Chains A and B, each alone.
Chain A
Amino acid sequence: MQFSGGKRKKLKLGGDQRNACYPHSLQFYLQPPTENISLIEFENLAIDRVKLLKAVENLGVSYVKGTEQYQSKLEAEIRKVKFSYRENLENEYEARRRDHISHFILRLAYCQSEDLRRWFIQQEMDLLRFRFSILPKDKIQDFLKDSHLQFEAISDEERRLREKDITASSPSLNGSVLELVYKIPFAEALDLFRGRKVYLEDGFAYVPLKDIVAIILNEFRTKLSKALALTARSLPAVQSDERLQPLLNHLSHSYTGQDYNTQGNVGKISLDQIDSLSTKSFPPCMRQLHKALRENHHLRHGGRMQYGLFLKGIGLTLEQALQFWKQEFIRGKMDPDKFDKGYSYNIRHSFGKEGKRTDYTPFSCMKIILNNPPGQGDYHGCPFRHSDPELLKQKLQSYKIAPAGINQILDLVKGTHYQVACQKYFEMIHNVDDCGFSLNHPNQFFIESQKILNGGKDIKKESIQPETPQPKPNVQKTKDASSALASLNSSLEMDMEGLEDYFSE
């Protein structure tokens, strides 16, 4: 992205020049984009790619990679966000450009911690693997050449000389005819040679076309890992960039859906329903918070925040909330005055009736999973993420989940697919095969559950009223898409410049 003062006309490239920019439908993202881009497009591209990568993750868990279902669903997801994926389509320039730019924006957001990097690299690899798998064979050599990969195919003569050995070494060939074979330095074929799945001679691995994918992905992962480390070094500069900082903070913990703040069912819940709702329609995180509150007549701060905002989201009014908490705390022998002095202020604050009057939004799954891990005496957090697997198993058994379901859930947890595990829990307690939604938010769980239990009657949702508070830059709360956008309203016209520097040494 170029630095230039003031407004500048965007260069419009002619047809051929545009195609030359992006000769293929897939790429290794070796060069950062250099054009100007508006903040609005910047944000939209980033959000689109996050949506796509999350879909990649979900599909990778729900289906075996490479199967017909996986491939077609993934293709559909890519088309939804209008990124490139397939060669030989018309008017590919825009799709490739969107793909290119969005990748680099996400590097800024996802370089920040080891966990984020790992996640980002994994999904990008899966995406690349898919795109490569649909690349026509005659395009592969071109693509490799253009990507500056040092893989040369050996001559027919050389191939014939070694045909027996190569066939004996590469199980992927399975007796089929030997086509292209690439000669690469052995160290670059680590995953192949360590298992003796490739023929080695004089320091080179002779890799048949079928196996070259694994190598390419490895290359990609190494390069991307290094690049992210490099970008992370630019982090302080990135974070002090006022245009970027709110966006990027929001993205990497990103929840890009509804905020579940204002619901049409405000006031439709009565306090005496909560006990039964907690077992029927609450997600496990809130169920356990409610149980702890009832048993101990108290919750610590983290639990009060997570549970309190959730209750607001399901429709409790401020008055109901005050009553609810006060009743419970008094049972714990708390002095009513003490409650009024200490705790009620906080409750009113979280409803936006005190202080700077931000109407805080209920926490998304991402936020609960990634932030503020529970300690001793805490009951907040995500049980699938934060509970010891043995304890989680016991808890699920006490909820009367069938053993087969419990095992599935534990497997998903082992694979760090916490939200999918929670979806499984949903399916078990509602006795459905497919929950029909991608779980992102505890309040979403509640709404979907109520939908099923109330016989499919849709709960009317009010349209989201974007608040226009001006959150201070050092507030670490999740902002929804609209409020982030709102804070940028003033700078809509300005072009994003100079980001290129964050990607290079």
Chain B
Amino acid sequence: MEAFDPAELPELLKLYYRRLFPYAQYYRWLNYGGVIKNYFQHREFSFTLKDDIYIRYQSFNSQSDLEKEMQKMNPYKIDIGAVYSHRPNQHNTVKLGAFQAQEKELVFDIDMTDYDDVRRCCSSADICSKCWTLMTMAIRIIDRALKEDFGFKHRLWVYSGRRGVHCWVCDESVRKLSSAVRSGIVEYLSLVKGGQDVKKKVHLSENIHPFVRKSINIINKYFEEYALVEQDILGNKESCDKILALVPETIHENLQQMFQKHHSSLQRWKHLKEQLKKVARHPNDVRNDKWGPWLEWEIMLQYCFPRLDINVSKGINHLLKSPFSVHPKTGRISVPIDLQKVDQFDPFTVPTISSICRELDAISPDEEEKEENKAESNFKHRTRDYKKTSLGPYIKVFEQFLENLDKSRKGELLKKSDLQKDF
């Protein structure tokens, strides 16, 4: 993949917004079938322009309005906010207190930096193939819960463009959820608690909730390869000490001795598990029958379980990076992730804006089209254009997501008209 040069962004974005950005599908999504009047028109967008100029409360009247404005302003970043009671771009004309955020998708943001204490390969904004598995596990665990426990049907997972993933839950009922319920959902999905000053961040109770059990089952599938081989969490003294800090001191000596005899993480983990089985649930527990794999699980969870940022999810008016937005530092497009192929997803193969513009140029060199009369052919152009670039497959994933939304909507309408006995 060609290197991305941020200096080229203005030119690249111009091309991107004119010929590649999937406006039709994008509008189809946010319009939600036009069932609620002005749903799209009352949606807030925010743009980050060149030189870090940030403007909020952008709103648009229609798909073509959106197109025109985006092409005019050439935003470096696009964020999506809530659907408000009034058009956001007129919010200053509204009586004080009357302008309210009313609905928004439930969103999650999982960021690799939050795992710095448990990954050895990278830190902060860096990612690599070794630690990306964390995201894979996170997607699997969270998505399973959203689908099976909460019954959410329309979940769009998106690569953030650099070091994490986002999830947009778009069910009709979900968009109406209160801030309190959203917070509650994040709490339900949280197991890793504590900041830098907390050594042991996971504590399980005796009763293992099905959510925890099922999450551990998922982690089990990846743990050996990810933690023991790639991350090598028992590979040297420093990393061993980190693990020792999570288990009772009573077995430290045994463990140190064992570490002398076995040197690979795989072996050490195997023996560690055996030692843990012999530890009582509580050190002062008179009834020593309360042992179980909790300690083992607590370690696995601390190293592998997803870490969510509650602030992103709980606020109805929170703004989150839009799918198909470009990441200004990496140039990568925020593309949807195919859930069927989540294990194969490789963030390093995600197209950058420079690569797809180059692809486009190679196929059909950019002619300066006059906008007014060529609107029609512009559209047709675009429909062909992105299909020919590496962006194509990702837009397909997005379209599948939109199909499902449509199907659901039709189903609901049928149900409602059946009840009303409309013919």
Contact = CB atoms under 8 A, between A and B. Distances in A.
Contacts of A195: 187-188
A327 to B, nearest CB: 53
A199 interface: yes
Contacts, number: 47
Interface in B131-177: 148-152, 177
A171 interface: yes
A187 interface: yes
B209 to A, nearest CB: 5
Interface string B282-322: 00000000000000000000000000000000000000000
Interface in B175-219: 177, 180-181, 183-185, 187-188, 205, 207-213
B184 A199 contact: no
Contacts of B212: 196
A238 B150 CA distance: 44
Contacts of A203: 150-152
A196 B210 CA distance: 9
Given A186-B150, A202-B148, A203-B150, A196 B181 contact: no
A171 B150 contact: no
Central interface residue in B180, B207, B213, by most chain A CB within 10 Å: B207
Contacts of A200: 149-150, 188, 211
User: DSSP majority for the B interface?
Assistant: helix
A434 B209 CA distance: 46
A187 B187 contact: no
Nearest to A202: B151
B183 A204 contact: no
Contacts of B210: 165, 168-169, 199
Contact of A169 (B185, B187, B207): B207
Interface in B93-151: 148-151
Nearest to B208: A168
Interface residues of A, number: 17
Nearest to B213: A168
Contacts of B211: 196, 200
A190 B185 CA distance: 9
A215 to B, nearest CB: 13
A20 B35 CA distance: 44
A195 B184 CA distance: 8
A199 B180 CA distance: 19
A190 B184 contact: yes
Contacts of B205: 171
Contacts of A196: 188, 209, 211-212
A411 interface: no
Interface string B235-278: 00000000000000000000000000000000000000000000
A50 to B, nearest CB: 31
Interface in A175-191: 186-187, 190
Nearest to A171: B207
Interface in B307-345: none
A194 B209 contact: no
A195 B177 CA distance: 18
A201 B209 contact: no
Interface in A35-84: none
Nearest to B191: A196
A368 B183 CA distance: 39
Interface string A200-229: 111110000000000000000000000000
Nearest to A169: B209
Contacts of B213: 168
A193 interface: yes
Contacts of A202: 148-149, 151
Central interface residue in B149, B152, B187, by most chain A CB within 10 Å: B149
A379 B210 CA distance: 59
Contacts of B150: 186, 200, 203
A193 B209 contact: no
A194 B149 contact: no
A187 B151 CA distance: 12
Contacts of A165: 210
A193 B148 contact: no
Nearest to A204: B151
Contacts of A193: 184, 188
A196 B188 CA distance: 6
Contacts of B208: 168
26 contacts: A165-B210, A168-B207, A168-B209, A168-B210, A168-B213, A169-B210, A186-B150, A186-B151, A187-B177, A187-B181, A190-B180, A190-B181, A190-B184, A193-B184, A194-B183, A194-B188, A196-B212, A199-B210, A200-B188, A201-B148, A201-B149, A202-B148, A202-B151, A203-B150, A203-B151, A203-B152
Question: Would you list the 5 A-B pairs with minimal beta carbon distance, nearest first?
Answer: A203-B151, A194-B184, A200-B149, A202-B151, A194-B187
Given A190-B184, A200-B150, 13 more contacts: A168-B210, A171-B207, A187-B177, A187-B181, A194-B185, A194-B187, A196-B188, A196-B212, A201-B148, A201-B151, A202-B148, A203-B150, A203-B152
Interface of B: 148-152, 177, 180-181, 183-185, 187-188, 205, 207-213
